[in-house]
Amino acid sequence: MSDKQTIFKALQWASSFLREHGRDQNAGEILLMNQLKYTRSRLLAEFRKELSEKDWEQFSRNVKEHAAGRPVQYIMGHEVFLGREFVVNPHVLIPRPETEELVIAVLKKMDRLFGASKQGLRVADVGTGSGAIAVTLKLERPGLAVYGTDISASAIDIAKKNADRLGAAVRFAQGDLLQPLMEIGHKFHVIVSNPPYIPQGEKECLPDVVKDYEPACALFGGEDGLDVYRRFTEQLPHVLEDRAIVAFEVGAGQGDAVSQMMREQFSEGVTEVLYDINGKDRIVLTSL
């Protein structure tokens, strides 16, 4: 291709190149909109506009990186979660729509269980990653006292950056699972988590954009994918208030096993399995 490329020709090339490499052809449009800071309508309206040499080189480099497997979100450096833009990099899991459903379910359950008396309720997002859950809960319900924990120091750095960018007063602590919450010394009214739940044996079945780029510690939950839930249920009684909510995201097909763990640990509570927009068991929610 020549040095001077119109938006139309650049997108034509990207679509063909990505198709040849088995990638989503729409990724080129997403990458170029992000690079030029254009809306889709503006991109379409300016199809005949010439790209600068610098813009063309950057765009072609990004398309080739995605063709090679790097996720679009890591190339752009962000992903949108419930309408807000979160910084992401290979140290954190890319936020997904299923986790948006988890947050919405928690907000609804909090409103039903605690009503208007949510001021000062302590909420913890365990395995916070990018901070998407913790930051969103704080911004949606500013009266909450929200904490985020993660075993990864690099993830905590990203979560803090997102909280600062979005103006969310969330407290973060590094440590394994519920240990940081035990050290804080408070009991919590809400514990929410999207833990690693993919069985180790399914690694080779995952797309390369996931298994080769996203952090393994945020993906894999042991031989059957349930290791972290087992540890959770053992530790939860040490950090929960008498009246509380626990909400987990689970992998499709894991709802029965995780809900049974919670019913055995909290026989006095009410545990339910919620299904996502695709009809898959996705959330296990316990109310005490």
- List, in sequence order, every residue forming a beta bridge with 205; answer none if it has no partner: none
**Is 74 inside a domain boundary?**
no
DSSP state of 168: -
Residue at 111 is within a domain: yes
**Residues 61 and 114 occupy one common structural domain:** no
Q: Which domain holds residue 51?
A: 5-68
The DSSP result for 89-157, as a single string, is: -TTSPPP-HHHHHHHHHHHHHHHHHHTT--TT-EEEEES-TTSHHHHHHHHHSTTSEEEEEES-HHHHH
175 shares its domain with 47: no
Asked if residue 257 has pLDDT above 60, the reply is yes
Residues 223, 52: Cα–Cα separation, whole Å: 51
| 27 and 105 co-located in one domain | no
Domain annotation covers residue 110: yes
Share of the chain above pLDDT 90, in %: 86
- Is 97 found in the same domain as 49? no
Is 96 contained in some domain? Answer: yes
Per this entry, what is the length of the chain?
288
129 is in an annotated binding site: yes
Distance CA 255, CA 174 (A): 28
- Mean pLDDT of the chain, nearest integer: 94
Answer yes or no: is pLDDT of 120 > 50: yes
Average pLDDT (146-157) is: 96
With a CB cutoff of 8 Å and minimum separation 6, the contacts of 70 are: 209, 213
59 located within any domain: yes
Residues 49 and 117 in one domain: no
Determine whether the annotation assigns residue 127 to a binding site. yes
Output the pLDDT for position 117. Answer: 66
Q: Is 77 left (phi over 0), alpha (psi -120 to 50) or beta?
A: left
User: Does 75 fall in a domain?
Assistant: no
Cα–Cα distance measured from residue 108 to residue 113, given in angstroms and rounded to the nearest whole number: 9
Residue 195 C-alpha from the chain's centroid:
10
Is residue 131 a known part of a binding site? yes
Token code pair at residue 173:
């602590």
* pLDDT for 3: 57
Q: What is the CATH number of the domain that holds 249?
A: 3.40.50.150
Contact in structure between 62 and 31 (CB atoms under 8 Å): yes
Residue 170 resides in a domain: yes
pLDDT at 249 over 90: yes
pLDDT score at 4:
75
Contact (Cβ atoms closer than 8 angstroms) between residue 213 and residue 74: yes
pLDDT digits (tens, 9 = 90+) for 43-96: 999 999 999 999 999 999 999 999 999 999 999 999 999 999 999 999 999 999
Residue 38 assigned to a binding site: no
Question: Would you give the DSSP letter of residue 207?
Answer: -
128 annotated as ligand-binding: yes
Residue 200 pLDDT: 87
Same domain? For 61 and 171 the reply is: no
Is 62 annotated to bind a ligand? Reply is no
Q: Same domain, yes or no, for 182 and 249?
A: yes
pLDDT of amino acid 33 = 96
Q: How far apart are CA 233 and CA 249, in angstroms?
A: 14
Q: Is 255 annotated as a binding residue?
A: no
Looking at the structure of the chain, the number of domains it has is: 2
The pLDDT value recorded for residue 1 is 44
**Residue 29 confidence (pLDDT):** 96
210 three-state secondary structure = helix
Is residue 196 annotated as involved in ligand binding? yes
* 185 appears as a binding residue in the annotation: no
**Taking 90 as the threshold, does the pLDDT of residue 259 lie above it?**
yes
Nearest to 231 by CA among 241, 217, 221: 221
139 shares its domain with 276: yes
**Using the 8-state DSSP alphabet, how is residue 270 labeled?**
E
- Residue 212's pLDDT band (boundaries 50, 70, 90)? confident
Residue 78 belongs to some domain of the structure:
no
> Are residue 147 and residue 261 in the same domain, yes or no?
yes
Distance of alpha carbon 137 from alpha carbon 114, whole angstroms: 15
In order, the DSSP letters of 29-85 are HHHHHHHHT--HHHHHHTTTPEEPHHHHHHHHHHHHHHHTT--HHHHHTEEEETTEE
Known binding residue 195? Answer is yes
175 and 61 in one domain?
no
Confidence of residue 2 (pLDDT cuts 50, 70, 90): very low
Q: How far is CA 16 from CA 23, 25, 122, 134, 180, in A?
A: 10, 7, 51, 40, 49
Assess whether 130 and 200 both reside in one domain. yes
Residues 125 and 262 in one domain: yes
Residue 158 predicted with pLDDT over 70: yes
The pLDDT of residue 113: 92
